[in-house]
Amino acid sequence: MKVTTLLFLSLASLVSAADKPLLAIPGEVIYESKLDTAPAAPWKSAKGQWELKDGVLRGAELAADKHGAVSRLPNKLSDFVIEYEFKFEGARTTSLSINAVKDHMARINITPKSVTVQRDDNDHEGPDKAVIFARFQTELSPGTWHKVRMEMVGDTLLGQVDDLTAWGSNDLFKTDKMSPGFTVGGQSVDFRNFSIRAATLNPEWESVKATLPKPGEKVAAAGAPAKGKPKGKGKGKKKNDE
């Protein structure tokens, strides 16, 4: 009985730790979907092929588009928490992207070997440039589900893929957040269990922040191999900033 009780308490502790708030306290549900039906409104897919495959949403780039696959929701957001799961099925990159009123705002960009949390270039041809808060080396095997979480409250962004977590602040984040959505470079990526919730600032954020890397502290070189892996000789990754 004692062993069973200790095991239960240990498991409860793990669940509690996993659910511990980071930047945001999630509130009411704005939108949620298991993504287990054929693509339809309110999703708008401007580029690529989006289809129901084996009970989940699959996105793939089409060569004829000469552009990564993109599917977005038309929502205008203030502070929020977005969560979903994805798995690589051959694609070279995917991202969770948030737009500003004009141009891009922020994203979590993911390849099989890296996770990047960044403020996006907001004017493309102008003087503005992307700001990388963190780029982690990792190994994301095809066919394995991974969890993504993005939180935006006030001027601060927090991005998380599995246990890789980073944050950063910028004045651009104080403006309206528009059209959250997925991008896919190559073929293919599967998505499921998507949700957007309203958010408020976690009153313990300053304590949580102290346990995380400072912006710019964890920025691996682009295309760098994961620790312990030999560097490949292939071409660099294709930019995917749709």
C-alpha 25/C-alpha 119 separation (Å) is: 22
CA dihedral 204, 205, 211, 215 (to 10 degrees): -170
User: What's the pLDDT score for residue 5?
Assistant: 40
Q: What are phi and psi of 167, to 5 degrees?
A: -145, 165
Query: Domain for residue 239, yes or no?
Result: no
Q: Centre a 10 Å sphere on the Cβ of residue 6 and count the other Cβ atoms it contains.
A: 10
CATH code of the domain containing 188:
2.60.120.560
User: What's the pLDDT score for residue 231?
Assistant: 40
Query: Domain for residue 7, yes or no?
Result: no
Query: Domain for residue 49, yes or no?
Result: yes
Residue 85: exposure state from Cβ atoms within 10 A (0-12, 13-18, ≥19): middle
**3-class SS at 17?**
helix
DSSP string, 134-185: EEEE----TT--EEEEEEEETTEEEEEETTEEEEEE-GGGGSPEEEEEEEEE
Query: Domain for residue 237, yes or no?
Result: no
Query: Domain for residue 10, yes or no?
Result: no
Q: Are the C-beta atoms of 10 and 17 separated by less than 8 Å?
A: no
Query: Domain for residue 156, yes or no?
Result: yes
User: What's the pLDDT score for residue 131?
Assistant: 97
User: What's the pLDDT score for residue 82?
Assistant: 98
Q: What is the pTM of this model?
A: 0.85
Residues 37-42: contacts with CB under 8 Å, at least 24 apart = 39/71, 42/73, 42/74, 42/75
CA dihedral 169, 172, 175, 177 (to 10 degrees): -80
Q: Are the C-beta atoms of 81 and 196 separated by less than 8 Å?
A: yes
C-alpha 58/C-alpha 51 separation (Å) is: 5
Query: Domain for residue 123, yes or no?
Result: yes
Quote the number of domains for the chain. Answer: 1
**Residue numbers of the domain that contains 190:** 22-219
User: What's the pLDDT score for residue 9?
Assistant: 41
User: What's the pLDDT score for residue 126?
Assistant: 79
Query: Domain for residue 115, yes or no?
Result: yes
Q: Per-residue confidence of the chain (242 residues) as pLDDT tens digits?
A: 444 444 434 333 333 344 689 999 999 999 999 999 999 999 999 899 999 999 999 999 999 999 999 999 999 999 999 999 999 999 999 999 999 998 999 999 999 999 999 999 998 777 889 999 999 999 999 999 999 999 999 999 999 999 999 999 999 999 999 999 999 999 999 999 999 999 999 999 999 999 999 999 999 887 655 444 434 333 333 444 45
Q: Centre a 10 Å sphere on the Cβ of residue 16 and count the other Cβ atoms it contains.
A: 9
Q: Are the C-beta atoms of 82 and 96 separated by less than 8 Å?
A: yes
